Structure 1
Amino acid sequence: MSGPVYDGGIRGAQDDAGLFGRTRDTDNHDAGIRSLAHGAAPVNPVTSVPGTAVPTAPSAPLTPEDLASSTETGTGLLRGAPPHVGNRPPSYPPHPLGRPSVRDADESAAFSPAVLLDGALIGRLTVRAASVRGDSHNWEGSCRQDAMTVTRIGPPDAEMLLLAVADGVGSAVYSHVGAYQFSRLAAVFLDREAENIHAAVCARDENELRVLATKAVAGAAAELRSGWARTAQHKPRPYADQDYATTLHVLLIPTDPRIRDRVLCSVGDGGLFVLREGRWEHGDPDDGEGLLDTRTEALPHAYRSVKTTLLRTVPGEVLLLGTDGITNPLTQKDPEFARRLAEAWVGPEVPSLSDFLWQTQTRAKSYDDDRTVICVWEEQA
């Protein structure tokens, strides 16, 4: 796919010094957004000081150094276009364009937002989550096919934080429906097995975890397939499994800080990374490439069982659960993308929701798929 080359629009938007700096709202926020919509530089907020002449506009264009300096001093300039790695920006423009219509007869696509943002603080665990429509889907005007879920399952004595990401297969006409519904219904069925899963985590019984996870996901698949088949009876298109194809990854973290094991349940590509000492490592130490090699597996039908992985983490390490829109550029030969996100998320300070979204949108040429990422920080005792 190809599109017009976007030249950045906002001067200095890719400047390293201002890449992950925090900003605050100003009275000129609306004016800045209007200027951005027309590809102009953001409005420069000016504070009136008695006895000082206030110019109505900057006397010269802002340089990258101006933007970096103003971000550091908190003058509230808008960030502008998301930054990119590499010498050239991606071909697609970095903002949403068209979108599906209600009259396209697919309400799920028409009402799916281009961006989802979520977060939570549960005990010592802090979560930041974002799902962003990819540049190629923005250009085509199609909907975001990724989905995510952040919730808790189980009773108080066996409670777990559940994080899920799903990536609808691009060629499947209703994959956005499959991703959305699987990421939620899988949580419901896993909740029914929560006590048994918690016990298996404590016992480090990976075989039992695989059985329980496969049972839960199969239950969710059976219920969804039945519902989709009933819906198809009222439409000209017959039901087919492959129309709803999606990957799914679920991370379960016991909320009891004494339990150090986590369990990853996976079907398809994408997966888990751990940020340790400033470096990204695959969440499956025994099969580091396996999370990226199962490309032919997808729900509801094209899989044999749910792959389960037990891993042990310590406070200070950051867990990243993501679709291949984020895991693929993390593993590219050019390490700049991985380095930037590592520097942004290594902690100990957890980014705000808006900062996390901005960092998630860091762009890399040729990586234009939907991007869903959930990160977990754990506070030191």
Structure 2
Amino acid sequence: MEPPAPQPRHRPEPPELPEPYGRPEFSGIPAQQRPEPAGSLPDVRADRGLPELPEPVPSPARITARDARPAVPEPGGEPAEPVEPAQPVEPAGPAARAAASLEPASRPPVVSRDSTPPRRHPLAAPPQPSRGPARPTDYVGERPPTYDAEPTAWPAADPQDLDGLVPDTVLDGAQYGAVTLRALSLRGDSARYRGEPRRDSLLTARFGDGDSALLLVAMASGTRGSNVAPRAARDACMWLAGAVGRSHARLADDIRGGRRGELKSGLHRLTDRSYGRLRARAAELDLRPDEYTATVRCLLLTADPQCRTRVFFGVGAGGLFRLREGVWQDLEPDPPAERTGEPVIGYGSAPADSMTVDLGIPTPGLAPPVEPVEVEAPGEPFRFRASVARPGDTLMLCTAGLADPMRGEPELGGRLAERWAGERPPGLAAFLADTQLRVKGYADDRTACAVWEA
């Protein structure tokens, strides 16, 4: 014989509520007053003669604002203290009035489905207010550059000459005592867009150990329009660095000793020999000498913290700039402009020893006329400068890809001076971001080395 169906506890039947309020969890009715469905646990226990379980009492840690509301008084009991709602809402319709009769007077107003704000994922970012169009920070000048700021295409690769592949960007840095160096070589916007290789080459090297070590930064730019320009620039840097490395002990000693004449003549010979190897290599490849050549610019300094002499030498166009007291000084104006800057006080045993750039233009009263030896391949004179740095100076050596916009767009120099005015030199990532500030009309490769004096 089947047992009789369990009967629900005697409570008023709740009215039917529209979706989604038909479910108890969305009805807004306190848990103590919700009707239990047929077949609930207390009815089954009563049917089997078991005692009813007492009503669950919430623990103090789990008491919520809903549990703390005044319960509906039992019939015949004392009425509860009336609590006026903060915002009384008149129930609309019979169903809403019936639901309101089962809840205390402090029940919050029901928000309709149409007015409920959309729910957000807990990890979703909050909506940001519109700030309007902002000026890009990756370029200077009135108009943005023509090409995209990021690389677009890779150069074509030869499976038989994978050693000739050139990466888009090269970044390096070091610190020796009070000197911090940052060096970079970056493919230009035009080459990035057309899928052409970077024509600039960068080489950084240290020869020797300890305070007697010699630091070299060499950079070269291949001939525009030549498909062997990257290889010629790389060979020029490697051959010149090899010659400097074999003579690094004597060169470091000349720098510390202030022997300016020996430095100039010795570096001139090493440069001529490197260009001689370039011309021989061009003959092997059945190319003209002007097809397999490059402009070369180098910076030499020692790791000795007591020696602040910085030696520049090279052949071809580019730039040598010094940031002193927040102002850029162009130490290498384009020939044949006359050099009118103040002489650089040199080093050595004689306190009045002076050094200046030798481009065939003597400084009156300081040095006799010196005629530079012509270098045949690039058709430009050999350049040399030895100067003493001051604490707080920043010396920047660069190829024409950065020197031209530095001279043509004053805002670029102002932005760099502002960014490099801090007490600490920028890191590698910050130096990359600084030196790749673009200027419309200047889309060539950029190679630069900056030296910060603490």
Q: Using structure 2 for the length normalisation, give the TM-score.
A: 0.60
Residues paired across the two proteins, number = 303
Give matches, 1:188-267, under 5 Å: 188-227=242-281, 229-230=283-284, 232=285, 238-267=286-315
Cα separation, partners in 2 of 1:183 and 1:244, compared to 1, 3 Å: same
1:309 partnered with 2:373: no
Aligned to 2:425: 350
The counterpart of 1:287, out of the listed 308, 326, 339, is: 339
**Deviations 1:301-360, CA, capped at 9 Å, x for gaps:** 23476321111111211111111111111112x421110011112232121211111111
1:121 partnered with 2:175: yes
Partner letter of residue 337 of structure 1? L
Partner letter of residue 178 of structure 2? R
Conservation of the 8 A alpha-carbon contact between 2:297 and 2:314: yes
More helix by share: 1
Give matches, 1:65-76, under 5 Å: none
Aligned to 2:107: none
Q: Give the % identical residues.
A: 32
Aligned to 1:63: 131
Partner letter of residue 420 of structure 2? W
Aligned to 1:54: 122
Conservation of the 8 A alpha-carbon contact between 2:144 and 2:439: yes
Cα separation, partners in 2 of 1:177 and 1:62, compared to 1, 3 Å: farther
Q: By how many angstroms is 1:223 displaced?
A: 3.8
**Deviations 1:49-100, CA, capped at 9 Å, x for gaps:** xxx96363553576379x99xxxxxxxxxxxx76111121011111111122
Cα separation, partners in 2 of 1:64 and 1:354, compared to 1, 3 Å: farther
Structure 1: state its 5+ residue gaps: 1-51, 69-80, 233-237
- Between the aligned partners of 1:112 and 1:291, the Cα distance in structure 2 is 34
Cα separation, partners in 2 of 1:358 and 1:288, compared to 1, 3 Å: farther
Aligned to 1:320: 396
Structure 2: state its 5+ residue gaps: 1-119, 342-356, 360-372
- Between the aligned partners of 2:132 and 2:390, the Cα distance in structure 1 is 39
The counterpart of 1:102, out of the listed 150, 157, 166, is: 157
- Between the aligned partners of 2:211 and 2:437, the Cα distance in structure 1 is 39
Q: By how many angstroms is 1:255 displaced?
A: 1.4
The counterpart of 1:85, out of the listed 140, 156, 160, is: 140
Cα separation, partners in 2 of 1:60 and 1:284, compared to 1, 3 Å: closer
SS of 1:244's partner is coil
Q: Using structure 1 for the length normalisation, give the TM-score.
A: 0.71
Larger RCO of the pair (alpha carbons < 8 Å, separation 6+): 1
- Between the aligned partners of 2:266 and 2:132, the Cα distance in structure 1 is 54
Cα separation, partners in 2 of 1:331 and 1:304, compared to 1, 3 Å: closer
